[in-house]
Structure 1
Amino acid sequence: MTSRDLALVLGTRPEIVKLAALARLLGPRTRLVWTGQHWDPALTTAFFTGYGLPAPHHRLDGVGGEPRGQQIGRMIGELSRHFAEHPPAAAIVQGDTNTAAAGALAAHCAGVPVVHVEAGLRSFDAAMPEEANRRVIAPLADLHCAPTRTAADHLLREGIDPQRILVTGNTVVEATLATLPDDLAARAVLARHGVTPENYLLATVHRPENTDDPERLARLLGQLGGLELPVLLPLHPRTQAAAASAGLLAIGGGLRPIEPLGHAAFLALARHCRLLVSDSGGVQEECTVLKRPLVVVRNSTERPEAVRAGFARLARPGPELDAALRELLADPGLAARLAEVPSPYGDGRASETIATAVRDRYPQHAPRPRGAAAGAADRQAVPRKVCQPPAGAWPTPRVRSLRSVD
């Protein structure tokens, strides 16, 4: 562990996707710490292998599937012990998962600086678990890697020091571009699922606001099943359990539940569908790279940039969703217009920008003492420098105004 002094704490498949390029850029300094929040071993191993990553250097067991409070508590305890025994120069967390919140809290308790990738997103919806996680991480982070100026503005309004904010773009851009299959491979994926380009919808549903309310879930699935075009629905374990419990898996119509997909297969289907329908945060970003329209089936979104750029439309199940589906499916020129709109999440250099900032801010030192006795007070403070991006990096990193420019 002594040479692997930059701990990337991750526990879900989207975190693997969004941190893989950063892990490769940080090279032998990378320590992969896997919490197991997503506990399907086959899918998890496939994601690590697919992104060219080694097996995790440290792994937590028995965390997946626990209730949220117990899960976060167990992760904090086990990560705290790991950081005390093997203190990293910094702990890097991504996004708004339980893993990210636990990783930031454990690192803070151990006196380890926290780097937050995808910092500053806000839905202003206190009912969202992800919003609570984001707000827990913000005051703990030493370096905030904000994907957009809007995200950076949120942090400034919360009193975060501008010198700790770096506007980087979102790592999902390079992850999507690197993973998207070529045309021949993509068409093979479509053929396996019995669909042709532009003649189907692709939907994902997994957020508690949709799955934990049987009436809302039934309304949503019923609306999708009532469309004339087929709707492919990769089943998240939470959705499958909720739908089975409510007797909704045989809803019929055009709705076609399918097994969970690898990232490349999902992107292939997303790139060639007529319309995306999802409550996923990542899909809201990926659609801007794939140039596909999306209906966001949620009460609120922490990614307004996709909405403002014209890629996404927010709609709750019921009349709002009916109207959105009807209007977007009836717009023949929509795909052509979106093809000309740049992604608001950057140009695919976010991982490079973050890696440069992390290496500069947390240079590698001689190994520190092991064990709880070598507490935070006994460890040398990490030098903290003003963030400077590589020459020509997108966009300007120093945030001085509260005005949004997205």
Structure 2
Amino acid sequence: MEKPHRSHVLILFGTRPEIIKLAPVIHELKARGIGTKVVSSSQHTHLLRPFLKMLDVTVDHDLKAGKANQGPNDVCSRVVAKLDVLFQAEKPDVVLVQGDTTTALAGAIAAFNRGIKVGHVEAGLRSGNRLSPFPEEMNRRLISQIADLHFAATADNRNVLIKEGISRRQISVTGNPVVDSLTNISERLGQNRRSGKKYLNKSDKHNSPLAVSGQIQKILDITSGQRSVLLTTHRRESFGETMSGNLCVLRDFIAKHDDTALLFPVHPNPNVRKVTEEILSGQERVFLLEPLDYKDFIAVMRSAWLIVSDSGGVQEEAPTLGKPLLVLRENTERPEAVRSGVARLVGSDPKRLKKMLTECYEDETWVRSVKKVKNPFGNGQAAKKIVDFLKKNA
């Protein structure tokens, strides 16, 4: 362990994607003897607990700001108010936020108003449309105007920040720490597709062996040898006719081809659940799953023939696992995934999804080529680079 560093870092998260990406940073900070406090807003309440256990992360302060059917303004106002009290007690030197959630924006605002430095992990992502994704695109733009330290996953992200007036000295290109987490967990499950490299001491709790749950292993056994399609969809802009149309297309695709299956971890949002049950419930070779813990989700991703998703995080995870991805969005803040050849933009027209699914099925050239693509989001060393830059500038 390194000599303790004087800075006191407070790390804030509220959702599953945030803690997945921040866990490697938390472990790296603590390994270097840097005072670290972990704070959860509980923006996603019941979804977080299994992730914290698997990632070996202990929460020091839980703001308990999550409520059912909450809107962005509800979350932001509660988190800012609770953080203001906490900051007065903890007096951190730096607050680290990740990505583009309402929790991240609230953390940046609360820290700025208390004169505390803000570090932004995954800085510089832009879709080009401030309303898509909503409210994430505006959240990250606002955080960039507040942050003092910007941890950009790619050179493209750095260039965006520079064009917006951020000094190069405030930016570090680190890669995305989701690659760190995904690589670690994939190794703990066995058979990492990308590398046999070991990143951490295997005696650590966050490197202990992992096993896929019995339910998921049974489904993977049933679908073994089939062309399994993994679907995730939850974004607000997908709600309504777009989502119902896409689900109908996938239902018909699976029904038409006997050698296919659909695995769909259904988000708890009622806007997703209701339409899913109406369209997909009871369909043959369609597996509707409760939200998966991360190790099970990785196992399902690794077994997938094709991934269909509107998730930003999946656009980073698919290249790490060498999996082809159809993105259910009109644009993406991660063009590197598209340029690399791993991802293809579908847009919001279900007819386009039908066409692309058919193309993938009838000609697997692209599907097979993705395994050889270099990951544009880093090599699993993002946490180390983030902490290096933080120590120099905090």
User: Normalising TM by the smaller chain, what interval?
Assistant: 0.7 to 0.9
* TM-aligned CA distance change 1:164 to 1:4, over 3 Å: closer
Residue 192 of structure 1: which of 193, 207, 219 is its match?
219
DSSP 3-state at the match of 2:315: helix
DSSP 3-state at the match of 2:227: coil
Partner of 1:149: 155
Structure 2-normalised TM-score?
0.85
Partner of 2:177: 171
Residue 382 of structure 2: which of 325, 335, 350 is its match?
350
* TM-aligned CA distance change 1:241 to 1:341, over 3 Å: closer
* TM-aligned CA distance change 1:57 to 1:187, over 3 Å: closer
Return the alpha-carbon distance in structure 2 between the equivalents of residues 303 and 198 of structure 1: 29
Return the alpha-carbon distance in structure 1 between the equivalents of residues 90 and 57 of structure 2: 21
Return the alpha-carbon distance in structure 1 between the equivalents of residues 370 and 324 of structure 2: 8
Return the alpha-carbon distance in structure 1 between the equivalents of residues 148 and 29 of structure 2: 18
Partner of 2:307: 276
Amino acid at match of 1:166: S
DSSP 3-state at the match of 1:200: strand
State whether structure 2 residue 72 is matched by structure 1 residue 68: yes
Return the alpha-carbon distance in structure 1 between the equivalents of residues 276 and 217 of structure 2: 30
Return the alpha-carbon distance in structure 1 between the equivalents of residues 281 and 124 of structure 2: 40
Tell me by how many angstroms 1:31 deviates. 0.6
Partner of 2:15: 12
* TM-aligned CA distance change 1:327 to 1:62, over 3 Å: same
Structure 2: gaps spanning 5 or more residues: 1-5, 192-209
User: What's the CA shift string for 1:309-347, capped at 9, x where partnerless?
Assistant: 010111124221112211223333334422221100111
Tell me by how many angstroms 1:186 deviates. 6.2
Report if the CA contact (8 A) 1:17-1:51 is conserved: yes
Structure 1-normalised TM-score?
0.83
Return the alpha-carbon distance in structure 2 between the equivalents of residues 77 and 197 of structure 1: 52
Return the alpha-carbon distance in structure 2 between the equivalents of residues 31 and 97 of structure 1: 19
Higher share in helix: 2
Residue 237 of structure 1: which of 255, 259, 268 is its match?
268
Report if the CA contact (8 A) 2:97-2:107 is conserved: yes
Report if the CA contact (8 A) 1:225-1:253 is conserved: no
User: What's the CA shift string for 1:49-88, capped at 9, x where partnerless?
Assistant: 101112x111112424321111111111111221122210
Partner of 2:129: 125
Return the alpha-carbon distance in structure 1 between the equivalents of residues 89 and 217 of structure 2: 48
DSSP 3-state at the match of 1:257: strand
Identity of aligned pairs, percent? 36
Amino acid at match of 1:196: S
Matches within 5 A, 1:201-350: 201-211=229-239, 213=240, 215-227=241-253, 228=257, 229-238=260-269, 242-243=273-274, 247-248=278-279, 250=281, 252=283, 254-315=285-346, 316-350=348-382
Return the alpha-carbon distance in structure 2 between the equivalents of residues 244 and 338 of structure 1: 32
Amino acid at match of 2:374: P
Partner of 1:367: none
Tell me by how many angstroms 1:249 deviates. 5.2
Tell me by how many angstroms 1:191 deviates. 2.9
Report if the CA contact (8 A) 1:278-1:294 is conserved: yes
Amino acid at match of 1:292: K
Report if the CA contact (8 A) 2:162-2:168 is conserved: yes
Return the alpha-carbon distance in structure 2 between the equivalents of residues 197 and 90 of structure 1: 49
Task: Tell me which of the two structures has the higher relative contact order, counting C-alpha pairs closer than 8 angstroms and 6 or more residues apart.
Answer: 1
Partner of 1:400: none
Structure 1 stretch displaced more, 177-186 or 225-234: 177-186
Report if the CA contact (8 A) 2:152-2:172 is conserved: yes
Return the alpha-carbon distance in structure 2 between the equivalents of residues 15 and 25 of structure 1: 16
